[in-house]
Structure 1
Amino acid sequence: MDKLTSMLVFTKVAKAGSFASAAKELGLSRAMATKHVMQLENGLGIRLLNRTTRNLSLTEVGMVYLERCLQILDEMEEMEIAVTRLQTEPRGTLKVNATPFFGAYHLAPAVAAYTEIYPDVNVEMILQASYVDLIEEGFDLAIHLDELRDSSLIARKLGSSQRVVCGSPAYFKKHGSPKTPDDLRKHNCLVNSSLPPRDQWQFSVPGGETTVIKVGGTMQSNVADALRMAALSALGLVLLPTYMVGQDIRKNRLQAVLTDYIPAPLEIHAVYPHRKHLSAKVRTFVDFLHERFHPKPYWEEWAQND
């Protein structure tokens, strides 16, 4: 038998002064209520109740034990209420993982807006480019860009980001603009070495066909923002997602080219270890991000020049 249940039965019997009354309140048979109390007495090796044919009374030890049982049961109830609130009301620390650029420029403003609505949630945001094990490293969720690596994780699509080829006005003034993907072979293309195959850019051409262009240039980097900064400095052309370069294009710091040739978009997902019993802080944060980034996120407004 469960000891906590036996303690609860004992407190009810002691308060009611009757096995029958306590059993009725708890929805048990009188025999079962008696068995619970006897189990406690046998386990402790003491008598908790004095029994006569007409009434029950607590022994001296039984009065001390009753007081401690009531304290323990009250603490259990308080603990259950606290845990339930964590599950049903957004509160506590939310540990989130994301890539550095997306986290700094898009997730951080979203966190600020979210905590305005849910002030009892604190957010710990860890930004790193490498893949993390959510369970092993204690993350509540992560924002994944592009393909998902772990099929055991629960994923919810938040939105997407187009990829565009772009360069600075100064670069195009000096070198001209490519008109077709094949023209990229003549240009200085800055390559992301962390995305295999690093020297191939893929496009969907009019008519639905796909073409892959081998590119190269004077710089490659495993950090996309470094390539963005080099492009802003007129070093060459980059193929980057609009969540990184959308504002640069809108402010005319960069210019998009080959817009009739669409590279595959970058999918953005919130991923977390479990779907069952999802905490309120995770559920509300994912819902908030979905509403903020879906169906068309603000970074796709790059074509609307100021």
Structure 2
Amino acid sequence: MSEGCGIALTMLIIDDDERYVDALFRDARRAGIRLLHAGSLEEGKLVVEGVDGAGICGVILDVECYKRRDDATPDSSFIIAATKYFTEKAPHLPVVALTGVQALFDRYVKDFAGIWQVYKKGRDESAMFAHLRQRALELEWVKVAGRYPDVFRVVDTYLGADTRQALMDCLLTMDDGTPARIRGNLANLRSIQEKLYIVLHRHRPDMVPRRFIYYEHGDQPLKSVNVAAILEHLKGNFDMRRQQIQGEVFLHYRSPLYRFSELVYRVSSDGIHAIDEDSADKPTRYTVQAVANALLELVLWFGRVAGEGSIECTGVR
């Protein structure tokens, strides 16, 4: 793990020298950095614009590399094309250039002065990773992930890049009091809760039976999730009038976790309706913050029970 941050930092390297990159992976791990590798600019764009793109917090560019995956030789214009792409697509990301050729190093140190740092292969790797780590830790979303490392470990393990981005967007903007942002955040939080139960069904079908998750055809695409029925099932279908439990209890109806589950479901749904219907009693940014913090507790609970399900199914965590 990197210093000052409870999560590994994910960075992209675009370099056609696979042997060098393999060796660099070890240096990166020691620096608390997880490297993603692309052998050409074309492949690098696919990574940046794919499911892993939102988690990238730094880029390393070989100064001469393939522009397209089917190129026969490295292209000297690669670095210009890459500079244009990352300047336009991800201007917030720290980017460095790397070369093992002394003449190219001397040239690009001058060309990129005041723009990017240029490093020499076989000599400057430690300095390069130190620089990238320092710059990455200045990014706002990295700071947020560092404040909730236990939550994002669960999200990254089980819930995927889309859920990670939705949660990150909410945590970054939950102080925003505009109605559009409040509505968007409440919708995101409700969708994340639904995703928890969809994934929990795969790990613990006893906790979330198949009958509560509806699909158009087969297993895809998802149509809807009956959160109300799932919550009833989790508390053992407790009959309040008779004070009787009618099934297995996974969450006691008076437990904080059950209350948090209800809060996320009911307050997010009712808050969205209040905004859409222009109710006098609309949710505020504090509503979003309350729901978000309740959801974080649910994510940690989900991680525990999903992990138990993995042990039962596979024998390993």
CA radius of gyration, larger in = 1
Q: Does 1 or 2 have the higher relative contact order (CA < 8 Å, sep 6+)?
A: 1
**Larger helix proportion, structure 1 or 2?**
2
TM-score under structure 1 length normalisation = 0.22
TM-score under structure 2 length normalisation = 0.21
